Structure 1
Amino acid sequence: MASDPTTRIYTIERVQHCDDQQRRHQLDDLLVIEEPMELRIDYAIAGKRASRSLAITMRTPGDDEDLARGFLLTEGIIASEADLVSLKRCTDGQGEESPNIWRATLAASCTFDPGKLQRNFYSTSSCGVCGKASLDALHHQGVMPVAPGPTLNAALLLQLPDLLRAAQATFDRTGGLHACALFNARGELLDLAEDVGRHNALDKLLGRALRRGELPLNDRILVLSGRASFELIQKSLVAGIGLVAAVGAPSSLAVDLSDTYAQTLVGFLRDARFNVYTHPARLT
């Protein structure tokens, strides 16, 4: 098995392939890389500096800095780029960078109380963590209902999944990644992120937007390659996104959350159709 660091893909050799005629032969296959990433945090408390491990997530390597930045934003640890003094890879005892361990140093003015954490931040590649603690945290972060923003032509919305799919370079080679993308009201693709975890892909996307000073994103359309879960809607609301469209189904909690915060939520956006679950006024 060999790794291609430029595309974050493994090549696994001599895999048995069986077709619909039950013919078997050997071939090479491409697999997306999945590795753990640990995020450590350095913060001020009671006039002193403290440090702790904050999260471990299974992710596709690449865009790790923006993944960490997006995670800190959407979990309410930071509210702006000014809350971060530095964000860099940790080093081992010999001064070498550890590729899977990152340290975020918070500004002294950034309030972080580990005693108020309702849960340990542990995310898997399949779904992430959500629940009542996350909903309470969203309210406590001061997240407000989404501003009205622009409207989008429904016929244009139908084209966005194909534009997203056409831009998924790594998915074309592996078939094993989730993706999310930001579009403007003219249907232009502005940014895209891929990851083995759908929540990681969104954190990468929002981390880049934070770094570029683009938040809030109330004039953007977020398109998800899969379903719309509670956690993804929670993250999108932190960024102020007004319209979320998913190729798959939304969950009941996702619909409730979008409705509460005046966000338009679209599901089953495929095969020239879609369902609008909340606040349809953004679609014409």
Structure 2
Amino acid sequence: MGRITQRRAVTRIVLGEDGIAQRRRADVLAVEEPLEIRVGGTPLAVTMRTPGHDVELAAGFLVSEGVISRGDEFRSAIHCGGPGTGGADGNTYNVLDVALAPGVAAPDPDIARAFYTTSSCGVCGKASIDAVETTSAYDVSTDAASVDVAVLAALPDTLREHQAVFEKTGGLHAAALFDAATGELLVVREDVGRHNAVDKVVGWAVLEERLPLRGTILQVSGRASFELVQKAAMAGIPILSAVSAPSSLAAELAEASGLTLAGFVRGRSLNVYSRPDRVRVEGERQTLLASGALRGS
């Protein structure tokens, strides 16, 4: 399955009683890999995932897209390059070909056009990033938004305060949109899936005719995956903040897109993985430590 972790340089910012300290250090990220889903040999979609349980993932995706609605409509699935596929380069485990039961209609071509796809076996992260850059209608790299580091550090607490359903169930993800200039909370949405919560926030912006979401911050309650960075970039959001870790490909996409990605935003510290220039660290008490070297925490 390949590497599952990756070391990456980050800018570490710590807000202490004696001042604000910055330093470059090494961080370890979980590796994220793409899975291309094909139906009857025809590419349908690429989704980012942790390898494993790919057949279940593909079946659930087909249900969510309305391709199938019952278990007996799903016939089988095999990884590209596996036995019986004729693959000459070995099994990459990053392409899964699904066979539907006889009589089940193939996916509507409009569904396939809604997703970026690739015809090559073993799609790579670079191809996925290029696809997002090609399809996005907004260039977040040119957004002049910036946020004070103290404001950014306080966003998770504000989000948690507005998670009404989470307080009752303890089992929901949340996403919120903030104005970067003022820190004003614009909207909060909760969902059992973090991707769904983000989709709801973006959907709110669509209905309010606020796209692109320039000058805003997307705060999420969990980790920052490739998909969340993608959704932010596609909606024109220049800053994404997460209380947990980003994946390696999320950080790569954020850097390539010119999006500011902050992770481990908890209490009085955070990591900035890309475009740290948007995070304002001001004041006479600021301290810069080992700006050119990677050091442990």
Q: TM-score of the superposition, structure 1-length normalised?
A: 0.54
Contact kept? 2:176, 2:218, Cα under 8 Å: yes
Residue 252 (structure 1) aligned with residue 248 (structure 2): yes
Partner residue of 1:161 out of 156, 172, 182: 156
Deviation at 1:186, TM superposition (A): 1.2
Residue aligning to 2:200: 204
Q: Aligned equivalents of 1:278 and 1:203: distance in 2?
A: 23
Say if 1:202 and 1:55 are closer, same or farther in 2 by CA, change over 3 A. Answer: farther
| Percent sequence identity over aligned pairs | 48
Change (3 A) 1:57 1:192: farther
* Residue equivalent to 1:139: 133
Structure 1 position 174 matched with structure 2 position 169 = yes
- The residue type paired with residue 245 of structure 2 is A
CA distance in 2, matches of 1:191, 1:115: 30
Q: Give the length in aligned residue pairs.
A: 170
Assess if the C-alpha contact under 8 Å between 2:136 and 2:233 holds in 1.
no
How far has the Cα of 1:55 moved from its partner? 5.6
1:238 partnered with 2:234: yes
Structure 1 residue 275 and structure 2 residue 294: aligned? no
Quote the Cα distance in structure 2 between the aligned partners of 1:242 and 1:164: 18
**How far has the Cα of 1:113 moved from its partner?**
7.5
Inter-CA distance 273–211: structure 2 relative to 1 (3 Å threshold):
same
Higher relative contact order (CA 8 A, sep 6+): 2
Per-residue deviation at 1:156?
A: 1.1
**Distance in 1, Cα, partners of 2:62 & 2:231:** 16
Cα deviation digits, residues 42-74 of structure 1 (max 9, x gap): xxxxxxxxxxxx96449xxxxxxxxxxxxxxxx
Mapping for residues 50-65 of structure 1, pairs under 5 Å: 56-57=63-64
* Partners of 2:125 and 2:200 in 1: CA distance: 22
CA contact (8 A) 1:177 1:196 kept: yes
Is the alpha carbon distance of 1:190 and 1:266 closer, same or farther for their aligned partners in structure 2, counting shifts above 3 Å?
Answer: same
Measured in 1, the distance between the counterparts of 2:263 and 2:186 equals: 21
Question: What amino acid is aligned across from residue 159 of structure 1 in structure 2?
Answer: A
Cα deviation, 1:133-172, whole Å, max 9, x if unaligned, reads 7545423314453132321111111111110000000000
What corresponds to 1:39 in structure 2?
none
SS in 2 for 1:173: helix
| CA apart distance, 1:257 | 0.3
Letter in 1 for 2:163: Q
What one-letter code is carried by the residue in structure 1 that aligns with 2:279? L
- The one of 183, 187, 207 equivalent to 1:187 is 183
| Cα deviations by residue, 1:77-128 (Å, 9 ceiling, x for unpaired) | xxxxxxxxxxxxxxxxxxxxxxxxxxxxxxxxxx947478666xxxxxxxxx
What secondary structure sits across from 2:147 in the alignment? Answer: coil
Does residue 229 (structure 1) correspond to residue 225 (structure 2)? The answer is: yes
Contact 1:182 1:222 in 2 (8 A): yes
Structure 2 unmatched runs, 5+:
1-60, 66-108, 118-123, 281-297
Distance 1:117 1:150, change over 3 A: closer
Output the amino acid matched with 1:194.
E
Q: Which amino acid aligns with 1:278?
A: S
Which string of whole-angstrom CA distances, capped at 9 and with x for unpartnered residues, describes residues 168-201 of structure 1? 0000000000001000121111101110011011
Q: Secondary structure at the match of 1:267?
A: strand
Q: Gaps (5+ residues) in structure 1?
A: 1-53, 59-110, 120-129
Once residues 277 and 116 of structure 1 are traced to their aligned partners in structure 2, the CA distance between those partners, rounded to angstroms, is 29
- After superposition, the CA RMSD in angstroms is 2.8
1:157 partner amino acid: L
Once residues 273 and 114 of structure 1 are traced to their aligned partners in structure 2, the CA distance between those partners, rounded to angstroms, is 42
Counterpart CA distance in 2 for 1:163 and 1:259 is 27
